[in-house]
Amino acid sequence: MIIKGTATSVSETRNCHGGTGLLTCRELYGDYLRADAGIKFVHDDVIEPGASIGEHLHNGDEEFYYILEGTGEMTLDGAPFTVQPGDFCFTQNGHRHSLRNTGAQPMRFLVVCVNREISAHQPDADHGADDRGCH
């Protein structure tokens, strides 16, 4: 499958997962109702200086962030980590995370969310069909 950038949609979300400020999301791929194992969505996101994605739990899926531009603080299960371009952040099933742009420039990152293969998958309430553009 090839998805051309010109065929993708862009949305803006304020206060994603109870965070603050503006998140701009270019949805590269989305299958939000997927119940089996596999990719749920891929986003190319930007948060403005001082903006954040609030802390949230992953239940039945896992999420990967790859930092492309800017600097910030990723919190994993309450532990803060400074992140910068080239850093890869992995939030496993059953764990919590948040992200805050601590720099003076917009922070850009790639997000991939993958459903785990589990026998009785319960859709993640924080990543349902109505949650496009927010992690």
pLDDT tens readout for residues 2-54? 888 888 899 999 999 999 999 999 999 999 888 888 999 999 999 999 999 99
pLDDT tens readout for residues 114-126? 998 754 445 554 5
At 3 the pLDDT is 85
Q: Is the pLDDT of residue 60 over 50?
A: yes
Q: What is d(CA 48, CA 91) in angstroms, rounded to the nearest whole number? A: 22
Percent residues over pLDDT 90 in the chain: 73
Pairing of strands 61-69, 88-91: antiparallel
Among residues 43, 45, 27, 38, the alpha carbon closest in space to that of 61 is found at 38
pTM of the model: 0.85
Q: Is the pLDDT of residue 129 over 60?
A: no
Place of tokens 């742009």: 101
Q: Is the pLDDT of residue 131 over 60?
A: no
**Structure token pair of residue 9:** 């949609």
At 6 the pLDDT is 81
Among residues 77, 70, 27, 76, the alpha carbon closest in space to that of 51 is found at 70
**Structure token pair of residue 88:** 């890869």
Q: What is d(CA 114, CA 100) in angstroms, rounded to the nearest whole number? A: 22
At 126 the pLDDT is 55
**Structure token pair of residue 70:** 């800017």
- Mean pLDDT across the chain: 89
**8 A C-beta contact, residue 83 and residue 89:** yes
